[in-house]
Amino acid sequence: MAKLYFYYSAMNAGKTTVLLQSAHNYRERGMNPVLFTPALDERHGAGVIRSRIGLEAEAQVFEKEMDLYARVQQERELRNIHCVLVDEAQFLSKDQVFQLGEVVDRMEIPVLCFGLRTDFRGELFEGSHYLLAWADQLEEIKTICHTGKKATMVVRLDEAGYALKEGTQVEIGGNERYVSVSRKAFKDVFYGGARVYLIDPLENDGTSSNETRQSDLLD
């Protein structure tokens, strides 16, 4: 039975790798997945989903106003569709999450959404908010904070390594902008003013364990 899935995590957890592996598995069995990626994420070029380990695939670009149900219906008129995969699903609108639910309920096509749960302020993204509310199945993809605890949150940093508390919710960036942390570390950095040190693990010279050692922080 088709379901709406939401696979969520902090950054640097391998969400995109899981999405691309899922797409490969469908294709390997002669099935047709449809992949979507947000228009605002052009780090690897428009319409390209790429993981940190080098896997990539072409995808259809979605804007906030796109009707995803209608778009999947158009694809379905051309070929059989066996699965819909959405990268960076936190950028979906409320209406689009509803539309993806309609794809599941009316077309009986499974939809797998992958994205962040919260932004740099600890607030839910719109897409994540409604996926958490409406998805049939929630799956957490885990990653680790520099403290050794499970990383569940993300902070946006300035050039000195201090948390930014103001700014637009959406700002694409990598290791120079974001770091995944545990809830406790988030409170220390965001509310307590602690500094985060971004150190490439290959260049680690024995610095203290309370310094972040992550070299690539965005799928």
Amino acid (1-letter code) at residue 81: I
Q: Indicate if 88 belongs to the active site.
A: yes
Looking at the fold, whether 136 and 171 belong to one and the same domain comes out as: no
pLDDT tens, position by position, 58-99: 899 999 999 999 999 999 999 999 999 999 999 999 999 999
Q: What gap in Å lies between CA 198 and CA 194, rounded to an integer?
A: 13
Domain hosting residue 171, numbered range: 144-203
CA dist 7 and 9 (Å) reads 7
The residue among 104, 119, 142 that closes a domain is 142
How many domains is the chain built from? Answer: 2
Co-location of 73 and 103 in the same domain: yes
Higher pLDDT, 59 or 12: 59
Q: Which of 75, 77, 88, 108 is catalytic?
A: 88
139: tokens are 């799956």
Residue 149 placed within a domain: yes
* 138 and 151 together in one domain: no
Do 76 and 45 sit in the same domain of this protein? yes
Residue 128 three-state SS: helix
pLDDT of 196 strictly over 90? no
Clarify whether residues 37 and 131 are in a common domain.
Answer: yes
